Structures are given as structure tokens and as C-alpha cells.
Amino acid sequence: MGKKIMSPIIPKNLEIEDGDILGLIEDELIECKNIKDIVIKNIETSYLNIRGSMITGLVFDEVDIKSIDVSNTIFRNCDFSNVDFRASIFHQVEFINCKLIGTNFSDSNLTNVVFTISRADYSYFRFSELKNVEFSETTLIKADFQESTFKNVIFSQSVLKSIQFAGVNLKDVDLSSCQIDGISARLEDVKGLIIDISQSSYIAKLVGVNFK
């Protein structure tokens, strides 16, 4: 059994922020805020720190953040599609019912992060470090984890279609509860991978076995 994933620790009395948060972004800090239903458009900043917050219905549209550091925060019903989160840090963060289509998490560090009932198709996690991370009831069609490092990464009831795992050590990773339709990986990557017997044909293709 893998290590327990730590949940976000969020203060009880959050300051409600339902107006213009551009000032917070300019100050590069969003802390202990309860933010709801805000669209951020055409913003460019070098750095943003988000911590101890509950953020619901936030939409990033043409937002360019060079580096983001997020801790102890829950994102619910947010849309970060096609946002570039490269070289960022996410610690004790939950994404619940979020759109992360084409979102780029490459070269990032994700620790104690949970993706639940979210869409992460075409997302990128290349060369990232994932420790105590769970993808639950999340679609990951054509997601790319190439050369990322896994430590206690959990996939439960998720859709994995045409997914890229080349260069990822999948030992003890359990995909048995997931819907699988195509995996790209090297033979050495899949040693120790846990699957259901019904999924064996996808792994067999990787080792050159044909079913008659």
C-alpha cells in the first residue's frame, strides 16, 4: 500500500475575494483567499504564489505565468486549459472537476497532489517529479509523462488512452481499475506494472506478443 496523500491544510476563516484580483497577481501572492467565478485574461507575470486558499470557478484565458508555486490549495471547477505551468511547484493541492486540457506541467514538482473528476487530455508532465499523486476518475487521453519520476503515483478509475510513459519506471503502479487504450513505453518501463488480466493485450504489444 502506498503512502497516504496529505490533504491541503486550509484556514477556516478565508477572506472572500469575488472582485478584481489583478492586484493580488501583481503582488505575486494569493494567500488565505476564497475566490469564486473569476476570469483572468491576457495577463503576464514572472511569478505567482498561491497558498492556503479555496479557488472555485477560476478561468485562465491567455495567461502567461513564468513560474507558479501553489501549496495547501483546492481548485474546484477551474479551467486551466492550455496554461503553461512549466517548472512550477504544487504541494498539497487538489484539482476537483477541473479542465486541464493541454495544460503543461513539464519540469515541475508535484507532491501530495490529487486530480479528481477532471479532464487532463493532452496534458504534459514531461521530466516532472510526481510524489504522492493521485489521478481519480480523470481522463488522460494522449497525456505525456515521458521521462517523469514516479513515487507513489495512483491511477484510479481513470481513462488512459494513447498515453506516453516512455522513460517512466512503472514498477508497482496499479492501472487495473482504469480504462486503457494504448500505452507507449519501453519494455524496461513496464516491469512490475500492475494491470487487470483484461488489459494484458496492451502490454503484450509492447513486448512484441501477438494474439491469435
pLDDT in tens, 93-121: 999 999 999 999 999 999 999 999 999 99
pLDDT value at position 20? 67
Average pLDDT rounded to a whole number, residues 140-164: 97
The answer for residues whose C-beta is within 8 angstroms of residue 33's C-beta and 6 or more apart is: 14, 15, 16, 17, 21, 24, 53, 54, 55
212 vs 54, residue with greater confidence: 54
Q: What is the pLDDT of residues 40-73, one digit of tens each?
A: 888 888 899 999 999 999 999 988 888 999 999 9
pLDDT value at position 25? 85
Bridge partners (DSSP) listed for residue 147: none
pLDDT value at position 84? 94
pLDDT value at position 23? 82
Average pLDDT rounded to a whole number, residues 173-192: 90
Do the beta carbons of residue 64 and residue 84 sit within 8 Å?
yes
- Record the pTM: 0.92
To the nearest 10°, the Cα dihedral for 15, 89, 161, 201?
-130
Q: Which amino acid is at 171?
A: K
Across the chain, the runs of DSSP E, i.e. the strands, are 15-17, 29-31, 33-36, 39-45, 48-56, 59-65, 68-76, 89-96, 109-116, 129-136, 149-156, 159-164, 179-184
Average pLDDT rounded to a whole number, residues 5-27: 86
In this model, does residue 200 exceed pLDDT 70? no
pLDDT value at position 21? 78
Q: pLDDT averaged over the chain? A: 91
CA 91 – CA 123 distance, rounded (Å): 19
Q: Which amino acid is at 82?
A: N
Assign 19 a pLDDT band (cuts: 50, 70, 90): low
CA 178 – CA 18 distance, rounded (Å): 38
CA 198 – CA 117 distance, rounded (Å): 24
Q: Look at strands 59-65 and 89-96 and give their pairing.
A: unpaired
